[in-house]
Structure 1
Amino acid sequence: PSASPATNPLAKVSTDFFESTPDLTCIADGDRFVRLNSRWSELLGWSDEHLLSSSFMDFVHEDDRAATLEQLAALAQGEEVVAFENGYATADGEFKQLLWNAHTDMGSGLIIASAHDVTAARQAEASREHTARVLGVLSELQERYLAEGLTRDWWDHALAEILSITESSFGFIGRIERDEDDAAYLVTYAVTNIAWNEWSRALFDEFQTKGLEFRNHETLFGVTLSTGEFVIANDPTNDPRAGGLPEGHPPLGCYAGIPLFAAEGLVGMIGLADRDNGFSSDQFDEFTPLFLALGQIIALDRSNQTIQRSTFLSATSAAAGRAIRAAADRKGALAELVGATLKLNAAAQVEYYAVVGNDPQMQLISPDAEQSGPSKPRSLHPEACIALMTGEPHISRATGSARERCEHLSDSQNDTICINVRTSGEDFGVIVTTIPPAPEDPTTETMYGATDPTAELLPTLVQLASGLAEFSLANDISRRALSDPLTGLANRTRFAQAISAALNRNDRRADPFSVILIDLDKMKSINDRFGHPAGDAVLVAVGKAIAVTLREDDTLARFGGDEYAVLLHECDLEQLQNAGHRIHSALNSIPIEGDGSVHASLGGIVVSDNDSTWHEIYRAADSALYAAKQAGGNKAQLGDLR
């Protein structure tokens, strides 16, 4: 017979702690698990038997084992572990990042711990940091261009930066030229020095003065030259597209050929080689702004346009790009984009269409509703825009054929530039800029020294689109990282931040605040009887019902599953009891077909001491919630933090 919770510490912990949290929880004796909740097998894919029969150190990532052993030693000394992070192996060979809180029960000597899965958050941070690094490289190259122009040193530096951010060992950047038979060949701007004999050293020295020429199409980079295709070969020696290497050339472990496009088509390419673990097409999505900018730079250089340094991606557009990235909201970001464009061409009209909800059409979104005339479409179907269909900026010329113009354009008297706004490989918007014809007087030059105002604006718009993409990505990541995807409420992380802010407010008066944990009593039966879609609908309805009982500055969060949390500012015990009654009444008014209404247990505490920690607050509210459920459910246990 099992002991009661009152006499068995392990049973008490498993009842109080295990079943009321959405996190991974465990009890361990030394380096072995004694008990686990179901989240372990759900997240890692291992069976309970396998987890319980092994040392948990067997699952810890080798890079984290030393630090994990240090934490175990600290626990053995009676210290508490807070916010320690390590990687745990899954059954399919991957790793999950877990954020730990743990302490040792001094009565039994057992370790009691909980771990929160932060894998998605860490991946989002890494993606954001990588995107920021790419855009930082682009910004730095633009600033160097303004300072020194397109010199050999500039191209060498650009190649070095590309090799660094792609983690490649070798590479080149070159422009596409055509011979008298209209056959494409490559002229390099920059190439890594991999000379292996006297002949190749002489060839590299020749490059230093005029650039190397490559005309052989029977090679991997020849595929890009002749077709404009992106090429990835992780086994170049045996790739059927490879035509071999010059005698003595060092072998290549992997190769990527990246086409560079401008408005007129393929203008250049980048070749990269020898990256650990090879190349994949997905990894290059985040480099799109950089590749687009390099394509524009090559196009301008190849056509021998006389461009003043201060006007190519000028200080105006560079400052606007920074302002877009730092904007407080999308309206502010769009205002910066429109303002910068009008400074460069006062006659231009700028519109931005973006995905809104599940609507298949992109909707017109403008900081100035008056800018677009009544004849302008208020929505745009992605299939009607060539830029969205091809994934590349597109110019619809007034003099071009109908096939060369986007179908969404009703104005055929002006040129129009469409630039897709993309993050993580997905288009979520398009910038549509209409430009009046160039002046008839051929002596009238634009600020690029050319008579084509459309070509003049294109590189600037590409830069501004990159800024808008970075702004949108950063804000979307922030939203997803702090929101529950089902209900749109704050998630556990956002709620903990709100608690921390409440505890650390310098202007806090003597007024206490309160925290309520809410657990629905019958969600399993609802899911079993009506299915999970119906259960999800109930979870959404519960969030809405609780929200209407709260004040504007209170915080409502869903922790996952059927658990919610509420932070009530300036709330004493009497106000807490009133709030609990309002919440109970609101939830009991949600009908469940054939089963009355939603029932929920509430555990709430008043926090008067701002020296408390979030862990202490959660544990106290969780204990109150447990008492309410033990009393039969659909009850509230509310009191002071003790």
Structure 2
Amino acid sequence: MNKQQWDSFDHSLLSSVLTIQQSFIGQLDLKSAFSRILSELLTLTGSDYGFIGEIHHDPSPYMIAHALTDVSWDSDSKAFYEQQMAKGFEFRNLNTLFGVSLITQELVISNDPAADPRSGGLPRGHPRMASYLGLPIIHDGKMLGLIGLANRPGGYTSQLAALLEPITFTCATMVNAFRQQQQKQQIEAELLANNQLLDAILLNVRDGIVLADYQGVIEIANAAAAELLCTDAEALTDSHLQDYLNAEGSRLFAAKLKRFLLTGDSDEFSSHINIQPKHRSKGSPQFLELGVSELKLANRKLFVINLHDVSARREQESKLEQANISLRELAETDDLTELSNRRAFDSLLEDNFSKCKRLDLPLMMAIVDIDHFKEYNDHYGHPQGDEALRSLAKIFKSKLKRCVDSCARVGGEEFAILVAGGNRDDFNGLLKSVNKALTKLAIEHRASPFNKLTISIGCSELTRKMTAPAELYQAADNALYEAKNAGRNQRIWHPTNATN
């Protein structure tokens, strides 16, 4: 071609490229664009047939032709062509002229394919190939596709290949844009599927799920969270979780969230927090268990807060705790007098002994025994004896009002009193008031030399020499023994033997 012909060729080529580019931008239809480009190339170059394909790797390179001239030579080849083009005609045989381009990523010109050692021949019945031009489609150094033209009168030249560079550049841009669009659509599809899955999980999970930023602003909340906080999911969005907690719950939430930020330990926050939402309608208190974990995204950090309704469990725990308290009280309470029993008193004695010994505090004890109680039962009967025990127990309860004072029935007609703090005069005053109250009741006891119900009392006081609770108890018991031997109806201290 002369210069005028080359200029005309170049002008026609650029005009076609511009038209096809504009069409592709609007539709991103690679197959349609390549078909139009191939048609223009065949017309401009005078070639008989050709193809434009996209290169893939699996792992060896292969080509999928999006545009391919129909060169079928019989009904079978026609059917095969139509079937393959419907899904993209695959070429995997690299022992061909187009295979050379796939392997080397270089321009291939062959004006005598039959004699070219690089050619692998043609299928039987295929139209004759007199010349071939293979133009690699390159983008950023990577081969994305290939243009193949055949049977141009006079063959192909490197000058013609250079003139066709705008076409290869356009095709490279199209393939790259098409792949980016495919990747974007795939990402969007995966994101949509993930969002749908997340929505399904959030909708069906029984626990409340809240996604919040580091300022505690809620970004996402499921229906369960809204129900637990007595609102709706839309109202939760852009609000603070603390707005839906009572004052104590809000304080605990803030404290534990701060600790989580400092330590990064989610276990610090996954604890039972008694929270009664202030928006909750009237009814039984609602207790929530909150757990938090950190969600690290590409450019930000969020909290995933789990809300679990433990109201039923807390109610059961409360009932169980109350039942245990009742059982413990039964195990440590004397049925007849409703005072502590010997088992409970021994525990109190041990605790008070250790505490007073450690802090150098006074600790006084008395053992009270009803005088001639066997004779009382024999004379008046056991029911009347039980009533006498209950009457004395009521006196003890009325006189021992401090939390550090305790009294127990430690035997049949024996009672023990333990008082921490105070002094001996105060303790004597307490015991006098007990005796005075009993005298005032004037319970008849004809089997006693005193003709009324009386008591003997043995008292002891913690000393520095004592090393075990049993020593304090034994000292009071020894004093009681002395009071009985001295005639009963009296109070004796041990080891000083001071009587009153």
Range class of TM-score, shorter chain:
0.3 to 0.5
TM-score (norm: length of structure 1): 0.28
Q: Point out the structure with max Rg over C-alpha.
A: 2
TM-score (norm: length of structure 2): 0.36
Greater share of helix residues, 1 or 2? 2
